[in-house]
A and B are shown apart, each in its own frame.
Chain A
Amino acid sequence: MSERRSGLVLMALVSAILVLGAALAQAGLQRLEPPSPWPSVGLILGAFWIGWLLSALRGRGADFMLFPLASLLCSVGWLEVYRLGPAIGSPALGERQALWIALGVGVFILALLVPGDYRTLEDYKYTCLLTGILLQVAVMLFGTEINGARLWFEIGPVLFQPVEVVKILLVVFLAAFLRQFRHWIRLGLLSAEGRLPRRALFLLGLGWAAAEGVLVLQKDLGMALLLFGLFLSMFFLSTGRRDLVALAAMLAGVGSWVCYHLFGHVRVRVGAWLDPFSDPHGQGYQMSQALYALASGGLDGSGLGMGRPFLVPEAYTDFIFVALAEEWGMLGALGLLMVYMMLVTRAFRVALAAGDEFGTLLAAGLATLVAWQTLILVGGTVQLAPMTGITLPFMSYGGSSMLANFLLLGILWRISAVGEVSGGD
C-alpha cells in the first residue's frame, strides 16, 4: 500500500514537472512561435493517469514504481523534444511525440488487459525467434534506406523500425530457450573427461555471429553491441559460466579489432570517437558539437529553451541526452541517470521476485536490455564509446522505440503481478 502511495506521489510529481516544464519551454521559445504545448500535455497526462490507475487497480502486489518512473523519463524527454521541434524546423515534433507516448501507454494497457498468463509466452519461443529473424531479413531486403542504413519500414506516414520489437522477441526467446536447455548446456560443460563444452561454445558462437552479422550487414554498431551485451548477460544468468562469458568477451574484442581493420566506416566511427577535434567540421562534427553542448551547459545548465542544443545534429533522437545535459545541466543529467538506475533496479527486483525461472530470466533479460541500451547510448554521447544510432529508452523521439519500450514495461508488470501471487510455488 505504501508503495502504491509512493507511486501516486511520483505521478503527481511527474504531472507537475510536465506542466511547469511546458510553461517554461514555451516562454523560452517565444521568438520561434512554438505551437501550444497544452493539447500535448493534456494528452500525455491523460494517458499517464489512465495507465497508472489501471495498473494500480488491477495489480495485486505488482510493481507500482515501474510505470511512474517510465512516465518521468517520458515527460522529461517530451519537454526536450517539444523544445527542439521549432528550433530544427519541425514544430509538430512535440505533438507527434505526445501521440506516440499516448499510443505507448495504450500498448502498456493492452499488455495489462490481455487475459492469460505471461508464461504462455514460453511456448512461443521459436515463433518469436522466427518472427524476429524474418523482420530483420525483410527490413534488409525491402526496408527504406535512410542515411545509408536500411533499418526502417515505411508504413503510410510513419516509419517503423522493426529492430525495436526484435530486441524484445529475442529476450523472450533467450529466456525460454535458456531456461529449457540450461542444464543441458551445463552438463555439456561439466563433462569430466576434459571434452570441450561443445554445445555451449556452439551457442555462444551463434550469438557472436548474429551480433557480427548485424554489424557487417547492417552497419549498425550500436545494435551489435546491444545484442551481444544482452546475449552474454543472459547466457551468464542461466549458466553461470564466467569463464565462457570471458572467452566470448575476448572473442568480441577480436571481432571488433578485425572489423576495425576490415571496414572503413568502423575506422571512421572510432576515429571520430577518440579524437573528434582532428576533424571538427567533418567526421568529428557531431561529437565535438556534443562536447561543446555539454561544456556550455555546465553544472546547472542553461535552462529549458535557453540553450542551443539544436546545434548538435540528431539532438532529438540519438543525442537527446546531450541536449538535456546542456539545458538541465550536469545536475539534471545526473538526476536522469539516477532515474534510469531506479528503473533498472526495479526491473531486476521483478526478476528476483518472480516465482519461476522463466519469469526471472525474462524480467532480468528485459532489465538488462534497458540498462545496456541506456549505457551504450549515453556512453556514446559522452565520449565513453563510439557513438551509435540507437535510441534512449522512453526519451528519444520515435514511435517504434516508444511502443516497444511500453510493451517491455507491460511485460515486466505482468511478471511482477504474478510473481507476488504465486510466490509460494
Chain B
Amino acid sequence: MAIKARVRVVALFLLVLFLAPVVNLTRFQVLRSEALLARPDNTRTLEDLSLRGSLLDRAGQPLAQTRQGRRVHPLGPVTGPLLGYLTGRLGAAGLEASLEARTVGYAIPRTPMQAWSLLTRGDRHGDDVVLTLDRGLQTLAWELLEGARGAALVLDIPSGEILAVASRPSFDPARLEADWERLRVDPSAPLIERGTQGLYPPGSTFKILTMAGALADGRTRSDEVFVCTGSMDAGNFILHDNAVHGRVDLKEALVVSCNVTFATLGQRLEVSGLRRWMDGFGLLEAPALVPNAAEAQPMQPGAPSVAAEAGIGQADLLVSPLGMARVCATLARGGIDLEPRLVRAQTRRGQVTWRPAAPRPRRVLPEAVAGEVRRAMEEAVARGTGGRAAVPGVAVAGKTGTAENPHGEPHAWFVGYAPAEAPKVAVAVLLENSGGGGLHAAPLASRLLQAALSR
C-alpha cells in the first residue's frame, strides 16, 4: 500500500527534524555557555556576584568588591595576579578563588553537606575577608618594580603578616576579558603571582641559611678561617668564585659573598643536611594562610657537586621570594619562625566571624647562631655587597644574590630586614634576568624598608 510507504517517509522526515534542537542545545549549553553567562544583562550572574563579600586591606579599605554586578579591584594591576579575578565567563582565580568559600554566600554545592548547609542557611550574603596587606606599601612595591619582571614582598616581623606582595608583569582586572586571549599565552606569564608562587634559584641569598645550618650543626665555627683561591674542586668540576678572597673568616665570607667558603660548608652539610635545614626554616611546606603559595623545591641528590652548588643557592633548588623573606624574618627574630600569613580575619558587617589562630612561635636554631648570621648580614649592608640597601639613619641587615639560571641573565635578589638591632620588617626583592643583586635589587629594598619603617 502506497500510503504505508509514505508513512515511512513522513516519519523519517520528522525524526530527522528532531536533530535541529540538538544542534541548538549544544550551541547554548556547551559552546556559547560561557559567553552567555558573561552577558551584563544576565541577572543570574549578577545575583551571584552581588552576594559576594569584599576583600579588604588591613585598614578595612576595599581591594575587591562588587559594584553594579561586576567585581571591581580598586587597585587594578597593583593587586592583579595576587587577587586574581572573578567573572562569569572566566570563573575565578587567585585569592578571589581561594577565598571563595568565605566570600560566597551562595555557591553551587559540591558535596551533599554543602548542599544541606546552603539550604538551611537564611542569609545568603557572603562574608568579607580582611587581608594583611597595606595599600600604601603595596602600591609602592608595585611602582618600584616598574619596567622589571619580578616581585617585591614586605613581611611584618613581629606578626609574620605579609604587608605587601607586588608582582610584575601584571594585568588590569577591569580589562581582563578583553585582554584574555593575549594574557593567556603571554610568555612573560602576567597571570602568575611571583612573590608567593614564583620559584627561583635563590643564589647567594641562600648563604644565610647555609651559614646558620653549618654553625648550628657544628660544621664550622665563627672564627674558622677559609682560604679562597678563586676556585675549588666541587667533586666533578671546578667551581669558580667571582674573586680571589684570600683568607676570610666566616663572617667576612658572608660580607664579601665568598662562594668557595659556602660551597665548602655545603659539602660539609651534605645534601641531606641542607635539605633538613630548608625543612627546619619551614620552606618545604606552603604556609596555610597564604593561599596558592608554592613550597620550595629542595635540591635532588645526584652528582657529587650538588651539595657544594646548593650551599651557594644554585644546583636545582628553587625558593619563592616569600620563602627567602621568611628565612630573613626567622633570623631577625633570633631563630624563631612564625608562619607567614596573608589572611587576617573574616568579618560580617564589621563583626569578626572568624579569625585564624595566633601564629605559634617555633624555635628553628639557637639564638647565638642567629646572632652570628645577623651580624654578618648587618655588615654585608654596611660595608659589603648589599651597600645599596642602606637606609639613612637606620641600620639594615641583608644579603644580595645573583642567581644563575637557564633563562638568560642572572636573577637579581636582595633579602634583608631593618632596623638591624630591633627588627620590624623584612623584605625580599627579586628581579628576573636583570643582573647583579647588589646593583639592581638592593636599591629597591632600601626604598621599601624606608617606607615600611615610617608607616
Contact = CB atoms under 8 A, between A and B. Distances in A.
A and B: bona fide binding partners: yes
A311 B109 CA distance: 20
> Which of B2, B7, B26, B34 has the most chain A CB within a 10 Å cutoff?
B7
Contact of B14 (A371, A379, A383, A384): A371
Given A236-B10, A280-B41, A292-B44, A341 B18 contact: yes
A378 B1 CA distance: 33
B28 A382 contact: yes
Contacts of B21: 337, 375, 378-379, 382, 384
A233 B10 contact: yes
A296 B41 contact: no
B11 to A, nearest CB: 4
A329 B2 CA distance: 42
B30 interface: yes
A372 B11 CA distance: 11
Interface in A283-311: 288, 291-292, 294-299, 302, 306, 308, 311
Interface stretch (A116-124, A219-227, A357-365): A357-365
A355 to B, nearest CB: 11
Contact of A382 (B9, B25, B34, B108): B25
B29 A277 contact: no
A330 B39 contact: no
A337 B28 contact: no
B30 A237 contact: no
B184 interface: no
Interface string A333-362: 110010011001100100110000100110
B10 A352 contact: no
Contacts of A291: 28, 36
A43 B264 CA distance: 86
A341 B9 CA distance: 15
B11 A330 contact: no
B231 interface: no
Interface in A230-264: 233, 236-238, 240
A30 interface: yes
Nearest to B33: A295
A361 B29 CA distance: 38
Contact of B37 (A237, A296, A325): A296
Interface residues of B, number: 38
B30 A240 contact: no
Contact of B119 (A27, A237, A302, A371): A27
A281 B44 contact: no
A179 B15 CA distance: 25
B229 interface: no
Given A288-B41, A302-B108, A237 B7 contact: yes
B68 interface: no
B300 to A, nearest CB: 42
A375 B8 CA distance: 18
B178 interface: no
Given A240-B2, A291-B36, A368 B25 contact: no
Contacts of B351: none
A367 interface: yes
A343 to B, nearest CB: 11
A306 B115 CA distance: 9
A268 B201 CA distance: 66
B24 interface: yes
A195 interface: no
B6 interface: yes
B272 interface: no
A11 B304 CA distance: 74
A359 to B, nearest CB: 10
B10 A375 contact: no
A311 B44 CA distance: 9
Given A302-B108, A344-B14, A379-B20, A237 B3 contact: yes
B8 A352 contact: yes
B39 A384 contact: no
Given A31-B119, A378-B21, A330 B29 contact: yes
B28 A294 contact: yes
Nearest to A377: B21
A292 B3 contact: no
A237 B34 CA distance: 44
Contact of B25 (A236, A334, A364): A334
Nearest to A229: B14
Contact of A30 (B20, B28, B120): B120
Contact of A236 (B6, B43, B120): B6
Contacts of A341: 15, 18
Contacts of A236: 6, 9-10
B29 A384 contact: no
B12 to A, nearest CB: 9
Given A367-B11, A382-B21, A298 B29 contact: yes
Given A325-B29, A333-B25, A295 B36 contact: yes
A344 B10 CA distance: 11
A352 B28 contact: no
Contact of A368 (B14, B24, B30, B39): B14
Contacts of A329: 29
B20 A345 contact: no
30 contacts: A30-B120, A31-B119, A280-B41, A281-B41, A294-B25, A294-B36, A295-B32, A295-B33, A295-B34, A296-B33, A296-B44, A297-B29, A299-B30, A308-B44, A311-B44, A325-B25, A330-B30, A337-B18, A337-B22, A344-B15, A348-B7, A351-B7, A352-B7, A352-B8, A364-B10, A364-B11, A371-B14, A371-B15, A371-B18, A383-B24
Given A27-B119, A240-B2, A329-B29, 8 more contacts: A233-B10, A294-B29, A295-B36, A299-B29, A325-B25, A330-B26, A333-B25, A379-B20
Interface of A: 27-28, 30-31, 233, 236-238, 240, 277, 280-281, 288, 291-292, 294-299, 302, 306, 308, 311, 325, 329-330, 333-334, 337, 340-341, 344-345, 348, 351-352, 357, 360-361, 364, 367-368, 371-372, 375, 378-379, 382-384
Instruction: Report the 10 A-B pairs with minimum CB-CB distance, sorted nearest first.
Output: A295-B36, A348-B11, A30-B119, A330-B29, A294-B28, A382-B24, A371-B14, A295-B33, A280-B41, A378-B21
